[in-house]
Amino acid sequence: MTEKPKEPPKEVKQRYLEMQLLQHQAKQIQSQIEALDAQANEMDAVQQALDEFSISKSGSDAFVTLTPGLFVKAKLEQTDSVLLNVGGGAVVQKSVPDAKKIIAGQNVELRKLQQELAEQLEKLTARAEKLQEELRILLT
C-alpha cells in the first residue's frame, strides 16, 4: 500500500499563497518603475531638445519628426515658443522657458512616483523575506 503524501499544514499553505501574491505584486511594481523610468528619460530628452531648439535661429533648417523614424526638412519660422500638448487633444503655445518649466515639473512628479514605488517594493521584499524565514521554520 502506498501512503498518501502528507498535506502541508494550513499555516504553510497560507504563507506560501501570500508569498506568491507578494511576488506578483513585486513584478507589477517593478514594471511600473521601469515604465516611469522610460517616461522620465523621455522627459530628459525633451528638455535637451528644448535646450537645442532655444539656440536655433529663425530661418534655420531643422528635421521635423512626422512619426518615429520619419522626418521632413523644414525651415524654422519661430524659435521663441513651442506648441505643447496639454492632454485631451489640446495644444497650447508656450514660450521655451515656460515649456521647460512644465516638462521639468512633470519629470519631478515622475521621479517622486518612481521613488514611492521603489519604497513599496522594498516593503514587499522585506515582507517576502520574513515569510521565507517563517516558512523555513514551519517546514523544519
pLDDT digits (tens, 9 = 90+) for 56-81: 999 999 999 899 899 999 999 999 99
What is the pLDDT averaged over residues 128-137?
Answer: 91
What is the model's pLDDT at position 38? Answer: 95
CB 94 within 8 A of CB 84: yes
What is the model's pLDDT at position 3? Answer: 63
CB 107 within 8 A of CB 122: no
Over the stretch 81-125, which tens digit does the pLDDT of each residue have? 999 998 898 999 999 999 999 999 999 999 999 999 999 999 999
Residues 6+ away with beta carbon under 8 Å from 19: 128, 131, 132, 135
CB 93 within 8 A of CB 81: yes
Residues 6+ away with beta carbon under 8 Å from 29: 117, 120, 121, 124
Question: pTM (2 decimals)?
Answer: 0.77
Separation of alpha carbons 52 and 78, rounded Å: 14
**Annotation: CATH topology of 10-139:** Helix Hairpins (1.10.287)
User: What rounded mean pLDDT belongs to the chain?
Assistant: 92
